[in-house]
């Protein structure tokens, strides 16, 4: 297989996306999208209760957000954004996705000391409160965006959620945050069609399984494959009435900025236009970065920013800007911090400069022409 030097890769569509967004700054975008320009535009949710969920030596520990919040405060961006309360999700909100017995099981296991829901997923006293707040924060941001209090937003909470099944926690995840927010948007906010985009390096098996048969919630995932959790094959396209509403992009190791950009341009864009969502939710993991210790993809921070700009453009085109992101993975603390900072900058103003102290990957990128051709054929895109 021929490998392409990153220095020789050009993504023409990225130039077009950037050019399109250059006039879309934070002062005129809300007006174009029908919002009150006197209100704050981008919103975020955070509460230090997430710090209670931690275990020394585990990759998913409280230092992930401690360092991220320190950088955001140093930058000053949070002062320009609207803060949304990170209140705990009610039992009714959690039970819309998780059986009551499972919710009580997580609460009981956490309250009794250090325990594990699976070999990778710990709970400690405070984990239930942190996980409930993580789910609740995302619901609150979703409500703010869907009701016009903000035109987009991001929940900066942990633990993450996209691996959690309805009745089982796994992969560092206790509750299925994005699925909970999507179900809330369906049932409480009256949104008919939702698109979930998962750019975490690990397949969001929990999110996929919860909506696999539901044509009202479409799921698009880019992920390393085969890799943890072992799901996300190209042939998995949904079940029952939901066939065709799941689009998995199973990348081999070594895919970088050009490959991810092509997947978003050639697969996600026509898929999203087919779905025509009322809301876009994103499981935003930053562990596909070339320096992340838990995976082997080769995105740069600039590459992540390019994905964020594409998703903002799709939300503006298809659903009046309604876009909500939830933090998932990312285990290089500085990469995570700069990735979140860049995402918030792009949500606020897609033309803002980004911060990338790491630069491009220092290796050759793997081409994915055959994979893209197969997926286009499979999904008739």
pLDDT, tens only, 298-323: 999 999 999 999 999 999 999 999 99
Peptide bond into 49 cis (omega under 30): no
219, β-bridge pairs: 196, 246
Check residue 228 and give left, alpha or beta (phi > 0: left; psi -120 to 50: alpha). beta
Q: What pLDDT is attached to residue 4?
A: 32
Cα atoms found within 13 Å of the Cα of residue 29, Cβ hemisphere only: 27
Spot the catalytic one: 53, 61, 98, 163: 163
Read off the tokens for 214: 């539901």
Q: What pLDDT is attached to residue 30?
A: 56
Read off the tokens for 270: 């026509």
DSSP H/E element including 246: strand 246-251
* 223 assigned to some structural domain: yes
Where residue 283 falls among pLDDT bands split at 50, 70, 90?
Answer: very high
Quote the mean pLDDT of the chain: 92
* 176 assigned to some structural domain: yes
Read off the tokens for 35: 């919002």
Q: pLDDT digits over 12-62, tens only?
A: 344 344 334 434 444 455 555 555 554 558 999 999 999 999 999 999 999
Maximum Cα–Cα distance across the chain: 56
* 100 assigned to some structural domain: yes
* 5 assigned to some structural domain: no
Read off the tokens for 242: 């939901």
Name the residue range of residue 103's domain. Answer: 11-379
* 6 assigned to some structural domain: no
Read off the tokens for 338: 């700069």
* 278 assigned to some structural domain: yes
- Nearest in space to 156 (alpha carbons), one of 358, 343, 350: 343
The count of domains in the chain is 1
Active site residue 223: no
105-140: burial string, b at 16+ Cβ within 10 Å, e else: bbbebbeeeeeebeebbbbbebbbbbbbbbbbbbbb
* 126 assigned to some structural domain: yes
The pTM assigned to this predicted structure is: 0.92
281: domain CATH number is 3.40.800.20
* 249 assigned to some structural domain: yes
CA distances from 371 to 201, 205, 251, 252 (A): 17, 20, 8, 9
């Amino acid at each position: 297989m021929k490998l392409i030097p990153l220095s020789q890769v050009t993504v023409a569509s990225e130039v077009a996306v950037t050019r399109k967004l250059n006039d879309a700054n934070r002062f005129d975008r809300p007006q174009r999208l029908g919002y009150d320009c006197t209100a704050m535009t981008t919103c975020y949710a955070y509460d230090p209760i997430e710090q209670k969920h931690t275990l020394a030596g585990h990759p998913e520990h409280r230092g992930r957000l401690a360092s991220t919040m320190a950088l955001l405060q140093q930058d000053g961006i949070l002062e320009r954004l609207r803060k949304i309360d990170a209140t705990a999700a009610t039992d009714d909100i959690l039970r819309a996705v998780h059986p009551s017995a499972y919710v009580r099981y997580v609460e009981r296991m956490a309250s009794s000391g250090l325990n594990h829901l699976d070999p990778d997923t710990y709970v400690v006293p405070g984990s239930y409160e942190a996980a409930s707040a993580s789910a609740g924060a995302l619901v609150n941001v979703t409500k703010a965006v869907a009701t016009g209090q903000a035109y987009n937003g991001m929940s900066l909470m942990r633990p993450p959620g996209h691996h959690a099944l309805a009745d089982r926690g796994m992969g560092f995840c206790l509750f299925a945050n994005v699925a909970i927010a999507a179900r809330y948007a369906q049932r409480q906010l009256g949104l008919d069609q939702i698109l979930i985009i998962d750019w975490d390096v690990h397949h969001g098996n929990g999110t996929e399984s919860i909506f696999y048969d539901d044509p009202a919630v479409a799921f698009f995932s880019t992920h390393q494959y085969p890799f943890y959790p072992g799901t996300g094959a190209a042939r998995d396209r949904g079940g029952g009435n939901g066939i065709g509403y799941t689009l998995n992009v199973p990348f081999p190791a070594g895919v970088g900025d050009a490959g991810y950009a092509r997947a978003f341009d050639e697969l996600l864009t026509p898929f999203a236009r087919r779905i025509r969502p009322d809301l876009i939710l994103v499981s935003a993991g930053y562990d596909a970065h070339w320096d992340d210790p838990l995976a082997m993809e080769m995105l740069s921070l600039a590459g992540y920013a390019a994905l964020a700009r594409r998703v903002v453009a799709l939300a503006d085109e298809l659903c009046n800007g309604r876009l909500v992101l939830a933090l998932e993975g990312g285990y290089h603390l500085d990469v995570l911090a700069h990735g979140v900072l860049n995402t918030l900058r792009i949500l606020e103003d897609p033309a803002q400069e980004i911060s990338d102290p790491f630069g491009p990957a220092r290796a050759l990128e793997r081409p994915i022409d055959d994979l893209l051709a197969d997926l286009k054929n499979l999904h008739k895109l």
